[in-house]
Amino acid sequence: MAGENSTALGHGAPGLLRGLALPAWLCGLAFAAALLAIFQYALRAHVPGELEPGGFTFQNFVAQAHPLYIGVFWDTLLLCAGTAILSLLAGYPLAWAILRTRSRLARSFILAIVITPLFLGEIVRTYGWIVVLGNSGFLNAALAWFGLGRAEMLFTTGGVLAALVHVTLPIVVIMLAAGLAHIEPELERAAQSLGATPARGFFTVTLPLSLPGILAAGTTAFAWTFSAFATPQLVGGGKVNMISNLVYQLGFASFNFPFAAALAVSGLALTAVTLAALSLLTRRVEQRL
Protein backbone atom coordinates (compact mmCIF):
# COMPACT_ATOMS: atom_id res chain seq x y z
CA MET A 1 0.00 0.00 0.00
CA ALA A 2 1.00 3.59 -0.62
CA GLY A 3 0.86 4.38 3.11
CA GLU A 4 3.30 1.61 4.00
CA ASN A 5 5.61 2.61 1.20
CA SER A 6 5.81 6.20 2.33
CA THR A 7 6.49 5.09 5.90
CA ALA A 8 9.30 2.85 4.71
CA LEU A 9 10.75 5.74 2.72
CA GLY A 10 10.32 8.06 5.66
CA HIS A 11 12.50 5.77 7.76
CA GLY A 12 14.85 4.94 4.92
CA ALA A 13 15.66 8.42 3.64
CA PRO A 14 17.56 9.76 6.70
CA GLY A 15 19.49 6.49 6.93
CA LEU A 16 20.41 6.71 3.26
CA LEU A 17 21.47 10.34 3.70
CA ARG A 18 23.62 9.39 6.68
CA GLY A 19 25.17 6.63 4.58
CA LEU A 20 26.01 9.13 1.81
CA ALA A 21 27.39 11.71 4.21
CA LEU A 22 30.67 9.88 4.71
CA PRO A 23 31.71 9.71 1.01
CA ALA A 24 30.58 13.33 0.65
CA TRP A 25 32.85 14.37 3.50
CA LEU A 26 35.74 12.37 2.01
CA CYS A 27 35.29 14.03 -1.39
CA GLY A 28 35.06 17.46 0.23
CA LEU A 29 38.22 16.76 2.19
CA ALA A 30 40.08 15.72 -0.97
CA PHE A 31 39.02 18.92 -2.79
CA ALA A 32 39.97 21.07 0.17
CA ALA A 33 43.37 19.35 0.40
CA ALA A 34 44.06 19.95 -3.31
CA LEU A 35 43.09 23.61 -2.98
CA LEU A 36 45.21 23.95 0.14
CA ALA A 37 48.20 22.41 -1.70
CA ILE A 38 47.81 25.00 -4.49
CA PHE A 39 47.64 27.83 -1.92
CA GLN A 40 50.79 26.69 -0.14
CA TYR A 41 52.71 26.15 -3.42
CA ALA A 42 51.72 29.67 -4.47
CA LEU A 43 53.48 31.08 -1.43
CA ARG A 44 56.76 29.13 -1.88
CA ALA A 45 59.80 30.14 -3.90
CA HIS A 46 60.71 28.40 -7.16
CA VAL A 47 64.09 26.66 -7.15
CA PRO A 48 65.22 26.27 -10.77
CA GLY A 49 65.95 22.68 -11.65
CA GLU A 50 64.08 21.39 -8.58
CA LEU A 51 60.51 20.09 -8.34
CA GLU A 52 60.45 20.78 -4.59
CA PRO A 53 59.65 24.44 -3.86
CA GLY A 54 61.77 26.60 -1.63
CA GLY A 55 60.88 28.88 1.30
CA PHE A 56 57.97 31.26 1.92
CA THR A 57 57.64 34.24 -0.46
CA PHE A 58 55.11 36.65 -2.00
CA GLN A 59 57.30 36.94 -5.09
CA ASN A 60 54.96 34.73 -7.20
CA PHE A 61 52.15 37.27 -6.82
CA VAL A 62 54.39 40.33 -7.21
CA ALA A 63 55.77 38.94 -10.48
CA GLN A 64 52.26 38.74 -11.94
CA ALA A 65 52.22 42.55 -12.17
CA HIS A 66 54.25 42.15 -15.39
CA PRO A 67 52.41 43.43 -18.53
CA LEU A 68 52.74 39.98 -20.11
CA TYR A 69 50.67 38.32 -17.38
CA ILE A 70 48.25 41.22 -16.96
CA GLY A 71 47.70 40.96 -20.73
CA VAL A 72 46.75 37.29 -20.44
CA PHE A 73 44.36 38.02 -17.56
CA TRP A 74 42.81 40.82 -19.58
CA ASP A 75 42.52 38.68 -22.72
CA THR A 76 40.91 35.93 -20.64
CA LEU A 77 38.34 38.34 -19.20
CA LEU A 78 37.57 39.73 -22.67
CA LEU A 79 37.21 36.24 -24.14
CA CYS A 80 34.90 35.24 -21.27
CA ALA A 81 32.79 38.37 -21.67
CA GLY A 82 32.73 37.97 -25.46
CA THR A 83 31.75 34.32 -25.18
CA ALA A 84 28.99 35.12 -22.68
CA ILE A 85 27.57 37.93 -24.84
CA LEU A 86 27.76 35.99 -28.11
CA SER A 87 26.21 32.89 -26.49
CA LEU A 88 23.36 35.04 -25.18
CA LEU A 89 22.81 36.69 -28.58
CA ALA A 90 22.80 33.33 -30.34
CA GLY A 91 20.99 31.49 -27.54
CA TYR A 92 18.08 33.89 -26.94
CA PRO A 93 16.36 33.35 -30.31
CA LEU A 94 16.96 29.61 -30.00
CA ALA A 95 15.47 29.47 -26.51
CA TRP A 96 12.57 31.57 -27.77
CA ALA A 97 11.98 29.26 -30.70
CA ILE A 98 12.04 26.18 -28.46
CA LEU A 99 9.38 27.68 -26.19
CA ARG A 100 7.10 29.32 -28.70
CA THR A 101 7.13 27.12 -31.75
CA ARG A 102 3.83 25.30 -32.22
CA SER A 103 5.31 22.41 -34.18
CA ARG A 104 6.62 19.62 -31.97
CA LEU A 105 8.90 18.46 -34.76
CA ALA A 106 10.56 21.86 -35.05
CA ARG A 107 10.97 22.04 -31.28
CA SER A 108 12.58 18.59 -31.10
CA PHE A 109 14.87 19.47 -34.01
CA ILE A 110 16.12 22.70 -32.43
CA LEU A 111 16.57 20.99 -29.05
CA ALA A 112 18.55 18.16 -30.64
CA ILE A 113 20.84 20.57 -32.52
CA VAL A 114 21.39 22.65 -29.39
CA ILE A 115 21.87 19.83 -26.90
CA THR A 116 23.96 17.37 -28.95
CA PRO A 117 27.28 19.22 -28.38
CA LEU A 118 26.86 18.47 -24.67
CA PHE A 119 27.24 14.76 -25.41
CA LEU A 120 30.39 15.16 -27.48
CA GLY A 121 33.60 15.48 -25.50
CA GLU A 122 35.34 18.83 -25.49
CA ILE A 123 38.26 17.39 -27.49
CA VAL A 124 35.98 16.01 -30.23
CA ARG A 125 34.18 19.32 -30.51
CA THR A 126 37.43 21.23 -30.62
CA TYR A 127 38.89 19.03 -33.39
CA GLY A 128 35.67 19.63 -35.26
CA TRP A 129 36.43 23.35 -35.16
CA ILE A 130 39.98 22.76 -36.36
CA VAL A 131 38.51 20.95 -39.38
CA VAL A 132 36.07 23.79 -40.00
CA LEU A 133 38.48 26.70 -39.47
CA GLY A 134 41.75 25.25 -40.81
CA ASN A 135 43.59 26.66 -43.85
CA SER A 136 42.14 23.93 -46.05
CA GLY A 137 39.10 23.50 -43.81
CA PHE A 138 35.43 23.74 -44.62
CA LEU A 139 35.07 27.53 -44.29
CA ASN A 140 38.16 28.34 -46.32
CA ALA A 141 37.17 25.85 -48.99
CA ALA A 142 33.76 27.53 -49.15
CA LEU A 143 35.37 30.99 -49.37
CA ALA A 144 37.70 29.82 -52.14
CA TRP A 145 34.78 28.27 -54.01
CA PHE A 146 33.01 31.64 -53.99
CA GLY A 147 36.28 33.22 -55.18
CA LEU A 148 36.75 35.20 -51.96
CA GLY A 149 40.27 34.00 -51.21
CA ARG A 150 41.31 32.63 -47.83
CA ALA A 151 40.99 33.95 -44.31
CA GLU A 152 43.20 33.19 -41.35
CA MET A 153 40.79 31.68 -38.79
CA LEU A 154 42.56 28.88 -36.98
CA PHE A 155 44.93 30.14 -34.25
CA THR A 156 43.08 33.50 -34.06
CA THR A 157 41.03 35.05 -31.26
CA GLY A 158 37.95 34.95 -33.47
CA GLY A 159 38.35 31.22 -34.04
CA VAL A 160 38.79 30.56 -30.31
CA LEU A 161 35.74 32.70 -29.57
CA ALA A 162 33.60 30.74 -32.02
CA ALA A 163 34.67 27.43 -30.48
CA LEU A 164 34.10 28.72 -26.93
CA VAL A 165 30.59 29.91 -27.84
CA HIS A 166 29.88 26.45 -29.20
CA VAL A 167 30.87 24.98 -25.83
CA THR A 168 28.68 27.29 -23.73
CA LEU A 169 25.68 27.55 -26.08
CA PRO A 170 23.76 24.43 -24.93
CA ILE A 171 23.81 25.42 -21.27
CA VAL A 172 22.96 29.05 -22.11
CA VAL A 173 19.98 27.98 -24.25
CA ILE A 174 18.69 25.66 -21.52
CA MET A 175 18.99 28.35 -18.84
CA LEU A 176 17.40 31.03 -21.03
CA ALA A 177 14.52 28.73 -21.95
CA ALA A 178 13.93 28.00 -18.25
CA GLY A 179 13.81 31.75 -17.57
CA LEU A 180 11.60 32.55 -20.56
CA ALA A 181 9.16 29.79 -19.64
CA HIS A 182 8.09 31.91 -16.65
CA ILE A 183 6.91 34.75 -18.88
CA GLU A 184 3.22 34.49 -19.67
CA PRO A 185 2.55 34.67 -23.43
CA GLU A 186 -0.54 36.71 -22.57
CA LEU A 187 1.72 39.62 -21.55
CA GLU A 188 2.93 40.05 -25.14
CA ARG A 189 -0.66 39.94 -26.35
CA ALA A 190 -1.61 42.54 -23.75
CA ALA A 191 1.18 44.85 -24.94
CA GLN A 192 -0.05 44.54 -28.53
CA SER A 193 -3.66 45.12 -27.51
CA LEU A 194 -2.50 48.39 -25.92
CA GLY A 195 -1.01 49.61 -29.19
CA ALA A 196 2.58 48.38 -28.93
CA THR A 197 4.12 46.88 -32.06
CA PRO A 198 5.55 43.38 -31.50
CA ALA A 199 9.05 44.92 -31.40
CA ARG A 200 8.05 47.51 -28.80
CA GLY A 201 6.28 44.82 -26.78
CA PHE A 202 9.44 42.72 -26.86
CA PHE A 203 11.75 45.50 -25.66
CA THR A 204 9.40 46.89 -22.99
CA VAL A 205 7.90 43.67 -21.62
CA THR A 206 9.54 40.42 -22.68
CA LEU A 207 13.17 41.52 -22.54
CA PRO A 208 13.00 43.21 -19.09
CA LEU A 209 11.21 40.15 -17.72
CA SER A 210 13.85 37.82 -19.10
CA LEU A 211 16.74 39.79 -17.53
CA PRO A 212 17.16 37.42 -14.53
CA GLY A 213 17.48 34.47 -16.92
CA ILE A 214 19.88 36.42 -19.15
CA LEU A 215 22.09 37.34 -16.18
CA ALA A 216 22.08 33.80 -14.80
CA ALA A 217 22.94 32.28 -18.18
CA GLY A 218 25.56 34.96 -18.87
CA THR A 219 27.19 34.44 -15.47
CA THR A 220 27.36 30.70 -16.03
CA ALA A 221 28.82 31.11 -19.53
CA PHE A 222 31.41 33.54 -18.12
CA ALA A 223 32.51 31.25 -15.29
CA TRP A 224 32.48 28.20 -17.55
CA THR A 225 34.71 29.90 -20.13
CA PHE A 226 37.18 31.16 -17.51
CA SER A 227 38.37 27.61 -16.89
CA ALA A 228 38.47 26.69 -20.60
CA PHE A 229 41.65 24.86 -21.45
CA ALA A 230 41.44 22.41 -24.35
CA THR A 231 39.60 24.79 -26.68
CA PRO A 232 42.08 27.72 -26.51
CA GLN A 233 44.98 25.23 -26.39
CA LEU A 234 44.01 23.48 -29.64
CA VAL A 235 42.15 26.17 -31.61
CA GLY A 236 44.43 28.94 -30.30
CA GLY A 237 47.53 26.87 -30.98
CA GLY A 238 49.65 28.84 -28.49
CA LYS A 239 48.82 32.15 -30.19
CA VAL A 240 45.69 32.78 -28.15
CA ASN A 241 46.38 32.20 -24.46
CA MET A 242 43.98 32.07 -21.56
CA ILE A 243 44.89 31.72 -17.88
CA SER A 244 44.63 27.95 -17.88
CA ASN A 245 46.99 27.67 -20.88
CA LEU A 246 49.51 29.89 -19.11
CA VAL A 247 49.22 27.79 -15.94
CA TYR A 248 49.79 24.66 -18.02
CA GLN A 249 52.85 26.07 -19.79
CA LEU A 250 54.45 27.27 -16.54
CA GLY A 251 53.61 24.11 -14.65
CA PHE A 252 54.32 21.42 -17.21
CA ALA A 253 56.75 23.05 -19.65
CA SER A 254 58.84 25.16 -17.24
CA PHE A 255 58.06 23.08 -14.14
CA ASN A 256 57.64 26.31 -12.18
CA PHE A 257 54.90 24.87 -9.93
CA PRO A 258 54.82 27.76 -7.43
CA PHE A 259 54.26 30.44 -10.10
CA ALA A 260 51.67 28.27 -11.88
CA ALA A 261 49.89 27.80 -8.54
CA ALA A 262 49.97 31.56 -7.86
CA LEU A 263 48.48 32.28 -11.32
CA ALA A 264 45.74 29.71 -10.63
CA VAL A 265 44.96 31.38 -7.29
CA SER A 266 44.78 34.82 -8.95
CA GLY A 267 42.50 33.43 -11.63
CA LEU A 268 40.28 31.91 -8.96
CA ALA A 269 40.13 35.23 -7.12
CA LEU A 270 39.29 37.09 -10.33
CA THR A 271 36.47 34.63 -11.10
CA ALA A 272 35.14 34.95 -7.55
CA VAL A 273 35.13 38.76 -7.72
CA THR A 274 33.42 38.78 -11.14
CA LEU A 275 30.80 36.24 -10.07
CA ALA A 276 30.12 38.19 -6.87
CA ALA A 277 29.59 41.36 -8.90
CA LEU A 278 27.29 39.56 -11.35
CA SER A 279 25.26 37.92 -8.60
CA LEU A 280 24.88 41.28 -6.86
CA LEU A 281 23.57 42.70 -10.15
CA THR A 282 21.22 39.74 -10.57
CA ARG A 283 19.81 40.24 -7.08
CA ARG A 284 19.17 43.92 -7.75
CA VAL A 285 17.43 43.12 -11.02
CA GLU A 286 15.30 40.46 -9.35
CA GLN A 287 14.28 42.89 -6.60
CA ARG A 288 13.03 45.30 -9.24
CA LEU A 289 10.84 42.63 -10.83
Partner 1 sequence: MAVEALRLDGVTRRFGAVTALHGASLVVAPGEFVTLLGPSGCGKTTLLNLVAGFQTPDEGEIFLGGESVTRVPVWKRDIGMVFQSYALFPHMSVAENVAYGLRARGIGKAEAMDRVAEALRMVRLSGLEDRRPRQLSGGQQQRAALARALVIRPRILLLDEPFSALDRALRGGLQVEVREIQRAAGVATLFVTHDQHEALAMSDRIAVMCGGRIHQAGTPEEVYAHPADRFVAGFVGDATVLRGRLRGLMGTTAGIEVGQAVLEADATPLRGLSQGAPVDAFLRPETLSPGGPALLSGEVRSVVFQGGHVDVHLDCAEAAGGRAMARLAPMLASGLAAGRVLELAGPSCCAAFPAEEPA
For partner 1, the binding residues (CB under 8 A) are 184, 186-187, 189-198, 200, 204-205, 208-209, 288-289
d(CA 89, CA 85): 6
Q: Shortest Cβ distance from residue 55 to partner 1 (Å)? A: 57
Question: Following CA atoms 31, 37, 42, 45 in sequence, which dihedral angle do they give, to the nearest 10 degrees?
Answer: -170
**Coil, helix or strand at residue 88:** helix
Task: Pick between residue 31 and residue 203 the one whose CB is nearest to partner 1.
Answer: 203
Q: Shortest Cβ distance from residue 268 to partner 1 (Å)? A: 35
Segment (H or E) for 260: helix 257-288
Q: Shortest Cβ distance from residue 174 to partner 1 (Å)? A: 23
End-to-end Cα, the chain, rounded Å: 45
Beta bridge partner(s), residue 44: 56
- Residues ≥6 apart with Cβ < 8 Å to 114: 94, 98, 169, 170, 173, 174
Q: Shortest Cβ distance from residue 288 to partner 1 (Å)? A: 7
Task: Pick between residue 205 and residue 263 the one whose CB is nearest to partner 1.
Answer: 205
Q: Shortest Cβ distance from residue 192 to partner 1 (Å)? A: 4
Task: Pick between residue 117 and residue 208 the one whose CB is nearest to partner 1.
Answer: 208
d(CA 14, CA 21): 10
Task: Pick between residue 182 and residue 239 the one whose CB is nearest to partner 1.
Answer: 182
Task: Pick between residue 2 and residue 289 the one whose CB is nearest to partner 1.
Answer: 289
